[in-house]
Structure 1
Amino acid sequence: MFLSFYIFLFSSLNIKHCVATDNISLGQSLSGNQTIVSKEGNFELGFFTLEFRISEDGQLVLLNSYKILVWSSNSTPSTSDSMVAVLLDTGNLVIRNGSSTTIWQSFDHPTDSIMPGELLGVNKITGEYQSVTSWKNLENSAPGPFALRMDPDGSNQFVLPWNDSEIYWTSGIWSGQYFPISPGTVESSLVNITFVNNEQRKYVMYTILDSSFICRITIDSSGLVGQWYWLNSTQKWQPFFIEPLARCDVYSLCGAFGICDQKCSNTCRCSYGFEPASMKEWEFNVWNSGCNLIVGSAEDCEEACLNNCSCNAYAYVSGCSIWTGDLWNLQQLYDGDRGVGTLHLRLAASDFPASSSSHKLVKDLTPSVIGGILVILCVLFGLIWVAQRRKRARMAKQVEGFLIHFTYSDLQRVTKNFSEKLGSGGCGSVFKGTLIDSREVAVKKLEGLRQGEKQFRTEVSTLAAIQHVNVVCLRGFCSEGSKRLLVYEYISGGSLESHLFQNNSTLLDRRMGYQTILGVARGLAYLHEKCRECIIHCDVKPDNILLDRDFCAKVVDFGMAKLIGRDFSRALTTMRGTIGYLAPEWISGLPITSKVDVYSYGMMLVELISGKRNATHSADWSKIFYPSWASTKVIEGDIFSLLDHRLNGSADIEELTKVCRVACWCIQDSETHRPTMGQVVQILEGVPEVIMPPVPKALQLLT
């Protein structure tokens, strides 16, 4: 893509040069400080050290200073002498013949940016993807490790993969009007989004309805994708949205041995004892080259190689260089009296030729060696036997990833035969336990699971990868026949339900309440949008929100829908959740998405604001479903009447208004009218302003 692309070059060819125009024709070239400019002046094209021209067979070519071909458009050859390359006001560079037929266009070959009118998708016939790929850095336009492309698994969504392998961001599935997680485009009145999925192609294209408005979507060298628009008043590009919101969510952003630090001005820093592998790239805020070990001497360099089983060679010349792969293009170099260093190769003992005397020595030593080996083997077998006995006595016997594999008898011991019950839910009961190292855990006995051992372990491994400050961490599991248990970290502060509704409840003040609301939103957004697979909680309520000693909210009991099985049609027929928090989709039989959690979250917000249950057993129907009355008060602007009376009116009017409106948007009847949890987080963190929501029709019927 040639987007506001200003690249200079020089040439010594004695040929015609183009003037200030929007095209070049056969026989003309573009070199030196020459450029072509689109008719409206929006886009300009030039090159640094290359010559740009149309070849005799009608192809666009780039020649270096030696007139050697370095790039060709590979368009259909043509002998027409009226070939012309035109830079359009859309930013598209096209080749046209005498009949004005487009033979080639740059929009078919995007690089790091996508312009309005350009397709982003996949050709189903050829399998070719139109993807956006980052530059290596601001000065090197070679392809970097990050890309924006259609999901290769066939889903109707876009993904951000690292090195075409690890996906660290998804746009969400196309809903028919928008991508849920993407914030969208600049303004709906200016933008038209088209999604096409037919037998030949699947792609997305956005167009701008006002030709004076210029915008682009770009992926930068640090793996962030953003939409930018040109602001004439400042003559600069301004961001409209950038994803992912947290830079540290970008996979391998800081490379090997690099640490991503949101509070660090440069985002990335090296681990202790390491230094940037490429200081030049780090100066451009491109860190994926990672960090190298700081080695002070030739002896340290040798030691570093010996301690690395993958090291094949090392050299020390004003610094340590270590090779872990095959060695290619080796040369013997000479530089006068100054040494150029020695390359030290690592060889196996079998690689050295043996002398006759060494053969004799081997024969003499053979009986002694065999005897010594037998003694060592006996000792080893004894140690193994002792270790196995100790292993049986230990609680945890195997680690899978970050998980400890417990036996059922292990968990019986740590829970004192499941004597201290913490609570129970639809999937089983939870008991408190203490490990040998004195760490406290919560052990959940799962009930009603029907999948096999392999599938259960696969699902548990998926949950093990979930690491977030607002999500309870899974520590281990047990799977013995029909006995299936999960071991979580123990959260001492109790559930949000106990702080709101029980007799011995501890009232949350304004500050803690808002942080609790935001923490739950962040945890659910992580489960929906940041995990490799979308995890739907299906039972969001105060009972399933735990608070630690610092009142940090943690979502618990997530992922049980996945553990019940992957048969989605069966999951749809089995209603899950708690009365009072169920989204209308459960009752109407519509497909279930992450928006059911958004609905439950909205109901929970109403309870947190008011300190009242959303449903009671009163004969007064206006009290039986409290949110119906509460949403009306929000519309009327009487929000202080909703506030928990125990707070004595202590609330920030702007925060309270925002939370009340978010709650009403979350409990809308149609899932398309509800925000995603990612958008809720953005709102609560203060990004967009919340407009007044309508009163949900279903709640109006209940009142």
Structure 2
Amino acid sequence: MVVEQRSLRYTIFLAILLLFSSSLSPSAQYVIYNSTAYLPASWTHLDYDSMMTPILRRDNDGPSYVCGFYCNSGGSDGGCLFGVLISQGWLGTGAHLQSSKLVWSANRNNLVQGNATLQLKEDGDLVLANIDGTLIWSSNTRGKSVSGLNLTEMGNLVLFGPNNESIWQSFDHPTDSLLLGQKLATGQKLTASVSESNWSEGRLSLAVGSDGLSAYIESDPPQRYYASSINSYPYYEFRNGSFNDFKIPPASVAQFMKFGPDGHLKVYQWAEVGEFVEVIDLLNLYVGNCGYPMVCGKYGVCSKGQCGCIETTNGQESYFSQIMFRQPDLGCSLITPISCDHSQDHTLLELNNAAYFASDSGSDTIRTVMEDCKSKCLSSCSCKAAVFYHDRNLWDTGDCRVINEVFSIINDENYIGDNTTLLVKVQNANKSRRKTIILASTSGAFFGVVCLIGSCLVFLRRIFKEADEIEGDFLNQVPGIPIRYSYENLQAMTEDFKKRLGEGGFGSVYEGALYNGTKIAVKCLDGFAQLKDSFLAEVQIIGSIHHVNLVKLTGFCFENSHRLLVYEHMANGSLDRWIFGEMRSYSLPWRTRRKIISDIAKGLAYLHEDCSQRIIHFDIKPQNILLDENFNAKVADFGLSKLIDKDQSRVVTRMRGTPGYLAPEWLSSTVTEKVDVYSFGIVMLEILCGRKNFDSSKIEEDRHLLSIFKRKAEEERLEDMVDRKSGDMLIHVGEAVEMMRIAAWCLQGNFNNRPSMSLVVKALEGLVVVAETNLDYDFTNSSTVRTEAAGDQGQVVVYVGSPILPSTLSGPR
């Protein structure tokens, strides 16, 4: 009996202890992670608020390692990768994970979203897939005798076989970092990221070749800024205290080597302050501060660590301007782009007090004389510069190297020698005009009249051009004005407008990237070449408008006939892709749809009521609603809308917009901002129902969304319209129906009975309740609006008066 009582007490004690431990916060519980996993195994990244979701972990007294899903700022932004991180000591606390550093990754060029999965399959393949099942990365070990996955004490991620033999290992596939004991062998390379925040592969690489270790920037051909000159090794190994011929301060703590986005090769080690600090920059002794390809950007001149542009003397015209005056390290651009169609106007600037970082000899270097070197560059349109290395004994003879892409130029006493001349190609904008004038002056009397007319046209063109330049210079001085880019800059940033994101009524949109790696969207406007005043005015006004739910205008191009707008890049594209486009299979959850609707409403409310000038969009549709990486919605193309003053209640203009989203009052050509409210109501229905407002694939009675809306409202079965593709939507049918009633309010036939967008925002936030029995679902019928004072809940109740009349809804117009 006593034994039974003791056993009972012990059981109760264990139960209480278990209950207490389960009540602890997640941060207080310690989760044990193994360093080995056996197939089959699968992991899913579910922790949206964490930078790291561990899969395997190797804890040591010295360097410790963890592999798993790693996100730059938490998984909710959709930018995560599978990788290995290094830290120091026991990884039991979150602080160590926060200070860990990424040293290897599998999918740096193709990040995954939350709910991505990593699978160690029965067939031996290690596979990373996105939430929709899209294959992102694979170890390509299918069919091999893989037994499991192991994270070693050196931080090497290994797929091992039945006898613990290595079948695949991360050490053989380096990214931008090396760990102690890791080798960089012939044929392997480290490739720097685009930037610290953009993990994609950049243009800078460090590789081991037949002639040893070299660092270079990708171009045609590659331009090398470091080459080992002491010995040539088949591999370089990172050891404690050395990297072959490089000496490194030895350490007893965690240490790793990283090839950074700036082209520096640095060693970092754990410090007492609880984070990694730089201990040595291995290449800087040989390269110097100004010897890196992008230290001052393209065409930038580096002088003692300071950046500038190529300057001309003796009254010569200026050929270069800084891309951004506040960030001189972004480089310079040619004021007049080099044109292959006007090669007769090409000339070479001789820079005797400058050198070029890529000074090593190679197959692209030829022995010749100075004049032949110039001719070789001038005769080839792809040549952008040439470096001539003078023979010390025969000054006019030497080695000529042609360069097809110009990066940073060196102007420093540590580099300049008296035996190098840099020849930079520029376009002489005035040369053709001089030739034309000379030719015209020598023409006979027969062509006198023609020449006179031609000269007048040229003169007028010059006046207009100078006027444009003066106005453009004025814009550069206006506070808050977006950045002004040259057309050549935007051509380079978009890779000659290579990737088109979409096409709208105003022109096509292309993806691009700034020199720091930040993505942009560039819209090339069609038919705006003659609209000088309105274009510049709208750039000035719209560029100063900043709202979280409006796509931000960051720059523009106003050059000759080119009119381009530069916007922030929206990672998830336009809304139509997600509700009835190619991403339809990935059904948006209820909370995301509700937030998108609210975001659109807030953006429109700001345009209608909070700007210095009221802005009516006129073309609200899913294609003009863009989504960022967090599915925040932003209204686009408002900068090309009709601007009206605050004191104007209505404006008469030509019919514009998209069929299916046009309000009935367009037929009378008298419109107000309520046309946007009507279009917003259509978009709301499309989001809630997951279909287009007009679908020709449906039977006749179901083709028009508004027809279905009217019919289901009369049958009191609006819940039938809710998008059923997502189980999440079924849980929130009641809320979706309430939002449909707000949409019906926005769609009232009489624009006076529609709410303002600020009132719509309040309705969506629950501060205004729409009385459902008084809505008119005949959206071309006249009605009245009255409101009552706030009730007990602090809400305003709005009654839309007019009985439901049986009439046919208008379809797409």
- Above 0.5 in TM-score? no
Question: Which range, TM-score by smaller chain?
Answer: 0.3 to 0.5
TM-score where L is the length of structure 2 = 0.37
